[in-house]
Amino acid sequence: MTPAKRINELRRQIAHHNERYYADDAPEVSDADYDALVRELARIESEHPELVDDESPTRLIGAGALSSTFAEVTHRQPMASLDNAMDDAELAAWGDRVARGLGDERPRFVCELKIDGLAISLRYERGRFVQAATRGDGRVGEDVTANVATIESIPGVLAAINGVKQGPSVLEVRGEVYLPIAAFKRLQAAKEAENRERLTAGRKPEPVPVNPRNAGAGSLRQKDPAITASRGLDFWSYQLGEVVGGQPLVSHEASLKYLHQLGFPVNPQIKVVENLAGVVEFCRYWQENRHTLPYEIDGVVVKVDSLAQREVLGNTSRAPRWAIAFKFPPEERTTILRDIKISVGRTGRTTPFAELEPVFVGGSTVSMATLHNQDQVAVKDVRPGDTVVVRKAGDVIPEVVGPVLSLRPAKSKPWQFPKLCPCPLRTELVRPEGEADTRCVEPACPYQRDQRIIYFASRGAMDIEGLGENTVFQLSDAGLVADAGDIYSLSREQLLTLDKWGATKADNLLNAIEGSKQRALPRLLTALGCKGLGPSASEALSRAFGTLDSIMLASEADLALTDGVGPIIAASIVRWFAVPNNRAMVEKLRKAGVEFGRVEVSRLPQNLVGKAIVVTGALEGYTRESAEAAIKDRGGKSPGSVSAKTMALVVGTDAGASKLTKAQELGIPILDLAGFEHVLSTGELPPAN
């Protein structure tokens, strides 16, 4: 394709996606895919300047697409877009351009979180809110005054400063309207519940919101302000526009303080730094910690602080030279869903998953993603052949969040959950009444067998290095293991018969297996895989009964009396040990010399007895497991979820947003590394600052 043809094709695609996003509230591609189109267009235009024209998307300030639902508003001062930096090199190049533009003057920078929401301009006259408008194409936006007036954090009347109520005669404030994660999850859950009712009634499900940004934009642009009011939108201010009669300001930092004094919410994470090294440090920190926030961010906005220096630097045709948006790696992309299949877990639970056209998202190439369960597939109405939105945040398992309905193939049909297990036995699948999961109930299912062995050897259980999924499949296919007990009878000679196995690999696995025989009792109990019996309950049972034999002989009532166990887990344990094959496996472990009674007794002060501390994310100097162990060694509990009984939530890098949001809703104290170590040493929360 010639450069001219490719430029025309890119301009056509970008215009189409602008219309879908801004006018229709129905985007067909992710931000990352859209940015890639714009950057490709800019690159080709830079190589062929004779093909550039003023109507190119690279020259326009905004999207150029407005909805017919709202009246138009002409901005007194254009709402410019920002140029993007996708990596440290592009950020450094921008810093060099700023330095050259200022000559001998040294800039300092203001770093702000790039909120993933909708840009808004608010207008105040004689101290009262009179109008709100979207950015639109940067020159003309949409009048959303009635809807914005429902957002509680936006003041209707400017606050007094030092007791003086008279503010500027005209004040324009720019900022971002966004949907907090907790509000988004409520909206998503409500739509999924509505879809379940629709499916029960034989009606088609409706689209489920796929991310807070799109849901927030749709919420703001409702015809009925009452609907907007119900959604829980919020707002951060970040810039002054037109000001008539206001106090003189010399820096962006002073502007933000002024906005705060007038009653506007200003993000607390804004930081002023003296050089570009400070900018890079800020960007790197928030790229790692973006999921500790109760709202979505997709980058950092960097601005020159001095307003005088901004005048010197000026603007290009579409963006200021004194600011740039540093974009984080995308966590959402669109791709093709090739097929939907199901996997079978160790308890027989079947989980649908998507086979995808490979796509780079969240720092890695993804070709499979979870679909959670049968109901989720139905309420989201994803189908083979769909273009879908795929999300991968940090270390979280990739998931399909929804289809792009406008791109659905014409003859598409809803996906039907299989009736038979995909294993060679082809057993009929069963969905117990009242449960969300469909299960294979055949104990001899080879897929369950393999998953039980994989779980037994996993890091949270017996932690046998080298005995991962592929190795277990290889051993199983060769007929060398039928259950976890067979692991301990493997020989060097048997392993050397396997494809691509040499002496070193075989010896390393055998040494790891031998070392696992001395694991503490809680790990062994967890590894057995009794339904509902996780690390916390295993720890409690081990302390209460001392040996595996004592637990096997205990009655259901005695087991249920153990703190953290209860009647449901107790019944599950009794049922598990009543199965002859399970008892036979335990005897294989005994015969192999696996330790049945090693309970590690902590000599640390028991200052956390009766206290529950939840850990999310990675803490410097701790693994997730060692942080939880530190709590338990002091008599505390470390459950996997936040509740009203939680003493504190400890937050590290790549933390789970749902836990943080829950803690904030319940008023649970949130601790960093220093706060965590204070609790460990004293048993008490650190004093409030």
The structure tokens listed for 52 are 């550039």
Note whether 3-59 and 612-682 share their fold.
Answer: no
pLDDT at res. 61:
54
Residue 88 · residue 133 · CB < 8 Å: no
For residue 552, what are its two tokens? 């096997």
Q: What percent of the chain has pLDDT over 90?
A: 63
Q: How far is CA 265 from CA 171, 214, 222, in A?
A: 15, 22, 23
- Statement: the pTM of the whole predicted model exceeds 0.75: no
Mean pLDDT, to the nearest integer, of 2-21?
82
CB 272 within 8 A of CB 223: no
CATH superfamily of 333-438: Nucleic acid-binding proteins (2.40.50.140)
Determine the pLDDT at residue 14. 84
Q: Which of 114, 327, 380, 632 is catalytic?
A: 114
Domain-wise residue ranges, the chain: 3-59, 84-327, 333-438, 446-592, 612-682
On the CB side of 378, how many CA atoms lie within 13 Å of its CA? 17
Domain 446-592: CATH class, spelled out = mainly alpha
| Phi, psi torsion values for 146, nearest 5 degrees | -60, -40
d(CA 24, CA 31): 16
- Residue 87 CA to residue 452 CA, distance in Å, equals 43
Does domain 612-682 match CATH 3.40.50.300? Answer: no
174 close to 241: Cβ distance less than 8 angstroms: yes
pLDDT in tens, 184-212: 999 999 999 999 999 989 898 988 888 89
3-state helix, strand, coil in the chain (%, to 5): 40, 20, 40
Token pair 């170590």 in the structure block, residue? 677
Task: Kindly report, residue by residue over 447-482, the tens digit of the pLDDT.
Answer: 999 999 999 999 889 999 999 999 999 999 999 999
- Does domain 84-327 fall under CATH 1.10.600.10? My reply is no
Is the pLDDT confidence value at 161 over 90? no
Q: Tokens 């309970």 map to which residue? A: 599
pLDDT at 656: 65
**What are the angstrom distances between the C-alpha of 360 and each of 386, 402, 407?**
18, 17, 20
pLDDT of residue 166: 63
For residue range 625-677, list pLDDT tens digits in order. 788 889 988 888 888 889 989 999 998 876 666 788 788 888 899 999 999 99
| CATH annotation of 3-59 | 1.10.287.610
Residues near 575 by beta carbon (within 8 Å), at least 6 away in sequence: none
CB of 688 closer than 8 Å to CB of 613: no
Give the N- to C-terminal CA distance of the chain in Å, as an integer.
Answer: 62
Q: Is 588 a catalytic residue?
A: no
